Structures are given as C-alpha cells and as structure tokens.
A and B are shown apart, each in its own frame.
Chain A
Amino acid sequence: MTDFFSNLSITTLGFFAFVLITFGIYYLVPRKAQNLVLLLASLVFCITWNWTFALILVVFSIINYFLALQIDSSQDKARLRWLWTGIVLNVSALLFYKYFDQSQVIFFKALFRLGVTPTQLELSILQPIGISFYVLQAISYLVDIFRKQIAVNRNFLEVSLYLAYFPKLLAGPIERAQNFFDQLRADRVLDNQQLTDSLLKIFVGLSRKIIISDTILQTIPRGVFANPSAYSIMDLVFWWFAFGVMVYNDFAGYTSIARGVSGLFGIQLSPNFEQPFFSTSFLDFWNRWHMSLSNWLRDYIYLPVSRAMLRRNPSGRYLPNLIVPPLVTMLVSGIWHGAAIHFILWGLLNGAVQAWERVQKSRRKSAAPPLTKWAIIGTIFVLLIINVPFKLDIAGALAFWSGLFRWGPFQTFTLATTLKPFFVIALSFYLDVKQLPERDERGLLRLPKATQIFLLAAGLFLLFLATRQQIAAPFIYQEF
C-alpha cells in the first residue's frame, strides 16, 4: 500500500486513486473548505515523494507571501529592493537545488566530517519536485504585484495553493497568479460538459504519454544517439524525428492529464501546446510549444529586454533591437532547462533563428502569403536540427550533426524496427489534426459518434496493452 502511494507520478494507478479520494472529499466538504482540501492534498502529494519537499514548499510559500506583502506596502526604491530580494531568493533557491553540488556546501561538509554520509542525507534527491516551475510562478506573482498589474493576495491559503496545486506541481503549466486566484474565488461547478472535457483530456493525455511517447522511447535504438556514426542518415533522421514526436507527446500528454485532473476540481489550467508540428515559423512554434513557459519568458524576459533596448534606440528596425531580446530570452530558457553547455547552445541556436526571422520580417515590405505546407516542413526540419543539443551534449551533438552529412550504413530502417514508431507517430499526427478545429482535445468531440466510440475503445485497448508490458517512463519535463 505504501508503494502504491509513493512517488505519485501522474500516470500511475496510485495517482488516480489519490485523485479519486481527493475528488470525493472535495465535493463532500462545504465550498469554503474546498481550497483547504486542495492544499492539504497537494502537500500529501508532495510527501509521497519526500516529506522534505512539502516542507520546502511551505517555507517557499511563507517567504513569497511576505515578500508580496512587503512589495505591496513599500514605495519607490524600497519596493524595487523588495522585488529584487524576492527574485534573488527564488532564483538562488532554484540554482541551489537544481545546479549546485550540495556536497560542497560548508554545512554539509561539516556534517560529513562528523561521520554523516551523503547517502544518509539523501543529497541526490534533494531537488524538490516541480521547483523549476513554482519558482517561475513565484517570480511572476511578485513582479505582477510590483507592476501593480494585480492586487496583493492576503489569503495565505490561496497563495500557497497557487504554488503547490498538485495537478500542475510536477511540470506546470506555469500559471499566472490572477487567473488562478480568480478561479479559487469563483463558484466551481462540475457539470456533464466539464466532466466530459476533463475525462477526455485525461484519456488523450494518457494515450499520448503511454501509447505514443513510451512506445517510441522503447523502440529508439540506444546507439543512434550514443554512436551516430554507425548509422545511416535515414536512421538518424527518422529516429531524431521520432524523438521529437516522443518529447512532444510526453509533455503534451502530461499537460492534458494535469488539465483534465484539475478540471475535475473545477479549476481550468492554461494550455501548453497547440499542435506545434503545424508551425509555419520559428516564432509561431514557440507560440505553440510549452506555451506557458514561452508566455512567461515573453512577459518577464523578452519584453523587459526589448523595452530597455528601445529606450536606447527606439527604431524598430535597429538590428540589436531585433537580435538581442530573442537571444537573451532563449539563453535564459536554455539555462532554465539545465546548467550545461549544451542547453546554453540549444538556447542560443533557437534565439538565433528567431532573431533571423525577426530581421527578415522587418525587411519585408509587404507580407507575402506563406506557402503553408513548405513553411511547416521547413520550420520543423530546421527546428529538429537545432534542437539536437537539447538531448545530446556538445560532443554528441557534433557527432550527430556530422552523421547527417554521411550516407552511412543502414541499421534500423527495417519494417520490423520502424513499424511501431511509424504507427504511433501517425497516431500523434491524427490526434493533432483532429484537435486543430478546437485547438485542444475538444476537437475530438466533433467527430461522428461512431468514430468516437471506435477511438475510445481502441484507445482503451491499446492503453491496457501498453501498460501490461512496459513501465511508464518518468515525464521528461518532470526532470527539469
């Protein structure tokens, strides 16, 4: 039983049992107590991973709650000082837990000298779940108060729940405070339509994660990335594309489940993906991929940098004004993903193509209608190439790129090897195409009833089969 409820990842039966219990209590208690139920459930969810994570989250909430009050009650320079104190504290915590070798901290070193071992301190698991995501939410909350875009929230329970809400704790979506607080205060009604939407999101999310993403993960030959020189260009291109589809379905699947579960409690979380494989430009891609992070980066990095640049030279065609903001933004995004050179390279490359696109756009006199099909293919092709450092370190990425310029020996390009990935990639695109009209899972509800029944039955069957022989891999973005 303890194992059943430990490390609750959101594709496990334990998680859904936990949701069901919370759901039952949530709709039994009076309206006023519902937020408290969600907060307690969120802390319990945290404890299933490690009790220290819950403690860290509570401390985090207290600090940010008081910082917000200080910012709100201060004026001018003091206000700015409190904001920077908040930003520095939040970023320091993120850096400490995510990037810092904790065994080098003097306090821990002293403990080691006293005979305490790193294993006893569980240093290796001290990175609290979801910290990368709730730190960004905390910063946005403080900045929004500083900018007077939102009023400070004096309800500690609501602020804590904003940071700790369990459906989004592991990997977002990164919510904006006002949107979340408004929903916490509004009456929440779960009717037939909302229940259908929520269950549909959970079903599509599970399908994306378990049927599509985990299947690709299991079929990708390890050597393709570890030793690309041994493979043909066809192998590399196919498996890299499959890897891209895998990452997309992993994260989009997670987001759908998180949104679906949250919908059961009457709280709508922001969308994170809008069929990114149909993007017609790089900027368009980042408006469709991990949208909650892209929006955060836009509002709290890109726009402030842009404004600062425009203050120096107000020309919209001045080259640094076009180049620097996307480069800085994507560099921050790279560092957020991980403190490794390859993530920085990944960020710079993505920043560079966005900057190039912005320059091209500024030089174009009239907006020529884009050739959509070719624009989509070209965008995805370039993005796949420049996203190699997302997965591989610098040496690995260079080896992979050089592999794309050699014919090489065919290794895996056989029907037996590619049958399953082909099928699930096609399934991923089918889902995307069917979601296009509504821009999310509800697009599937437009299908004829018979098709819906067939898809649901087939999906349930495939989910059952997929969960028999494989253990769900952890969500990729949960690692960040």
Chain B
Amino acid sequence: MKSLKITAPFGEIFLRSVLYLLLFCAALELFARTPAAHIFFPRESYGTSHPHFEVQLRRLRDRIAAGEQVDCIFIGNSQVLYGLQPSVVEDAYHEQTGKTIHCQNFGLGGLTPLTAGPLTRVLIKNFHPSLIVFETGVLDYSTSNMEGTDVSIMSSPWMKYQLGVFSVDGWLYEHSNGFRLIFGIDRAIKAIEENDTEIEADGHSTLMGQTETPMEDQLKHFEASLEALQITERHVGGLKKLLSIHSKQVQIIVIETPTHPVFYASKRKVRNLYPDFEKMLVFQTSQAGVPLWLSREALDLPAETWHDLAHLNEDGAVLLSRQLGQFLATVYTPPTSP
C-alpha cells in the first residue's frame, strides 16, 4: 500500500459539484411539478423514439389528471390515429343506448399485433379502462413491419418498467417529472425537425382532403410491405396475447381495418391473403370470446373518404367512427353509466 499516497482533504471540488448538482436536480423536479412547467414545456419523454407514443401518453395522463374518466381506449396503427374520432364514437353510442362513454384514441403509427398485448396491459394498469378496441388489418401482418415500431416502444425503459423489468431509467421516467421534462425538450426539438403530426386532446389526428401523391406512387410505397405479407406465428402469438387480456373487468373488441377499394382491387397478393387473414381473425377472436367487427364487409367507404391509400380523411373518419359507435352499442355496456 506504500505506492498509494492519497491524503485528506481530497475531492473537495468533486463533492461540491455533486452537492450543487443534487440541489439543481431537486429544484428542477420541483419546477417540473408546477403547472408552469406544463405550459412552457408541453412535451414529455418516456424514452421511446416513437413520434406518437409520448404525445398519446401525455394526452391520456392529462385527461386523467383533469379528473376525467376514460372508459374506452382505441389502439392500433396510424389508421386508428387518423380514422377513429372518439367524440363521434361517443355520440353514436349515446344515440343508440342513451348511455355515455368516454373514449380516447391511442393510435400509434406502425403498431402491430406484436406490441398490442403489452401496450394494452400497461394502459389498463395505469388508466383502468373497461374497454380496449383494437383495430387490425392485413397490412399489420407484413414481416417488413415487424421491428421498427415494436422495438421503439418495447425498448423504452418506461414500458419495461411498467411490465415489471426494473431499471433506474424506467423508475425515473415513471416517478420524476423533471427527468421527463428534460428529455421532453429534446423530443420537442425533434418534433419540429420531423414536422410531427398534431394530435388532439382525445388522441385523434385529422387528415384533410386527399393527398396529391399519385396512386401509382402510393402503391409503390407499399411494395415492400406487400412483398412481405405473411401471417406468421409471431403475429398470431401477439394477437393471442392481446385477446387473452379479455375479461369481465376489461373487455377487448377487435375491429378490422377498412381497405381502400383501389388498394384491394389492384394487389392480388392482398386479395389472396384476405380470406386467410379473416379466417384467422374469426377463429382467434371466437376462441377468446372477443367480439369482432369485420368492417371491410360492413362498410363501403367511397374513394373520396380516403386521404391516401391507407388513411381515411376527416369525412371517412366520421363515417367509420359512427359505425363503430353503433357496433359498440350492440356489444358493450360500461360498468357504471350515468
């Protein structure tokens, strides 16, 4: 030990830095818990790189924090985000049953059945809805879509923490407003950079009119997904995990994503795969006792209700949402209704 000659005092600057840093963190945390923080820093981060996830979570948290009740959450990909308007669903449901439900859209671009199950568990645990509506279409079953969104959501320390995997980051994202605020600044900069979609308080986003991108180019855009269309065991496994959550306390309802008429007619692979997809969906939902709405058969959405090949515009969203509200009226009763 002769070669080690460390004598006191040592590390004064380091200790004072750590002390000031702790004081700064405490001040930041206090500030982040004030309403002013929400005004000046409207974005929060939960450690995902997904452009919608954190905004949707914030919207949902804000509603609950404001004392509102959320009975029903819509989950699925961007077709849910743009295609389902909670207020229209609520109105249609009320017209049919005379009862009031409160819905929130939690559509996330690119979400597939692989992540739907864990995401549903986390939403139920945190927000206690009594109904989860999962919209799924044949395009969700493309192996080319299997990694991006699912990885960006599932690798989030917050999601892992919610699912029982402890990490310091997960704990901080859950319990520290200051931590979420700091990374929210980063997210806000990225949002400007990426020209993020505006998401309303009910989690829905609107696409107006029709895109100017020619149909041919839109089809080309989907080519990789279409080539990789395949109902894999992993996909079905993901769906099964979601359906297994169905219970008396929390009802799961599955609806099929409507399809653009041109898209369906122009791609043989889609046409060929549809019967298998529908058969699988009918089989899995009936096994789990989950209500299923095959919207493609029930709805005939004209071309002008589509913004592009995959997404409904505002008119289409109203049509689909009204139909969904009417369907829900036949299969769902809220636990407590005014």
| Closest CB in chain B relative to A15 CB, distance in Å | 19
Contacts of A469 in B (CB 8 A): 47, 183, 186
Does A148 reach chain B (CB closer than 8 Å)? no
Cross-chain contact of A189 among B5, B21, B25, B193 (Cβ < 8 A): B5
Does A187 reach chain B (CB closer than 8 Å)? yes
Query: Given that A28-B1, A191-B6, A416-B192 are known contacts, is A453 also in contact with B169, CB under 8 Å in the complex?
Result: no
Q: Apart from A187-B3, A453-B13, A461-B24, list 19 A-B contacts with CB within 8 A.
A: A27-B3, A34-B3, A189-B3, A189-B4, A189-B5, A190-B5, A192-B7, A195-B10, A199-B14, A416-B193, A417-B193, A449-B13, A452-B13, A453-B17, A456-B13, A460-B17, A468-B47, A469-B183, A469-B186
| Closest CB in chain A relative to B329 CB, distance in Å | 44
Question: Nearest residue in B to A187 (C-beta to C-beta)?
Answer: B3
Inter-chain contact A468/B183, CB cutoff 8 Å: yes
Does A420 reach chain B (CB closer than 8 Å)? yes
Inter-chain contact B47/A453, CB cutoff 8 Å: no
Interface centre among B2, B4, B172, B189 (most CB of A within 10 A): B4
Interface residues on B, range: 20 to 34
- The interface bits of chain A over 419-463 (1 if a CB of B lies within 8 angstroms of the residue's CB, else 0) are 110000000000000000000000000000100111011001100
Interface centre among B2, B21, B24, B47 (most CB of A within 10 A): B21
Does B282 reach chain A (CB closer than 8 Å)? no
Does A188 reach chain B (CB closer than 8 Å)? yes
Does A414 reach chain B (CB closer than 8 Å)? yes
Query: Given that A190-B6, A192-B7, A453-B16 are known contacts, is A460 also in contact with B21, CB under 8 Å in the complex?
Result: yes
Inter-chain contact B4/A457, CB cutoff 8 Å: no
Contacts of B190 in A (CB 8 A): 416
- The interface bits of chain B over 1-34 (1 if a CB of A lies within 8 angstroms of the residue's CB, else 0) are 1111111001001101110110011000000000
Does B124 reach chain A (CB closer than 8 Å)? no
Complex alpha-carbon distance, A454 and B18, angstroms: 10
Inter-chain contact B13/A195, CB cutoff 8 Å: no
Interface residues on A, range: 20 to 34
- The interface bits of chain B over 44-62 (1 if a CB of A lies within 8 angstroms of the residue's CB, else 0) are 0001000000000000000
Inter-chain contact B20/A457, CB cutoff 8 Å: yes
Complex alpha-carbon distance, A162 and B172, angstroms: 44
Chain A residues packing against B (C-beta within 8 Å)? 27-28, 31, 34, 187-192, 195, 199, 266, 414, 416-417, 419-420, 449, 452-454, 456-457, 460-461, 465, 468-469
Cross-chain contact of B10 among A189, A192, A416, A419 (Cβ < 8 A): A192
Does B182 reach chain A (CB closer than 8 Å)? yes
Cross-chain contact of B189 among A188, A416, A452, A461 (Cβ < 8 A): A416
Within 8 A of A (CB), among B37-95: 47
Chain B residues packing against A (C-beta within 8 Å)? 1-7, 10, 13-14, 16-18, 20-21, 24-25, 47, 169, 172, 182-183, 186, 189-190, 192-193
| Closest CB in chain B relative to A340 CB, distance in Å | 31
| Closest CB in chain A relative to B128 CB, distance in Å | 29
9 A-B pairs with the lowest CB-CB distances in the bound complex, closest first:
A456-B17, A457-B17, A416-B192, A457-B21, A416-B193, A191-B5, A27-B4, A457-B20, A453-B17
Inter-chain contact A190/B10, CB cutoff 8 Å: no
Inter-chain contact A31/B189, CB cutoff 8 Å: no
| Closest CB in chain B relative to A254 CB, distance in Å | 23
Query: Given that A419-B189, A453-B16, A457-B17 are known contacts, is A195 also in contact with B1, CB under 8 Å in the complex?
Result: no
Question: Nearest residue in B to A195 (C-beta to C-beta)?
Answer: B6
Interface centre among A27, A414, A416, A460 (most CB of B within 10 A): A416
Contacts of A188 in B (CB 8 A): 3
| Closest CB in chain B relative to A147 CB, distance in Å | 34
| Closest CB in chain A relative to B275 CB, distance in Å | 39
| CB pairs A–B below 8 angstroms (8 shown) | A31-B2, A195-B6, A195-B10, A414-B193, A419-B189, A453-B16, A457-B20, A468-B47
Contacts of A34 in B (CB 8 A): 3
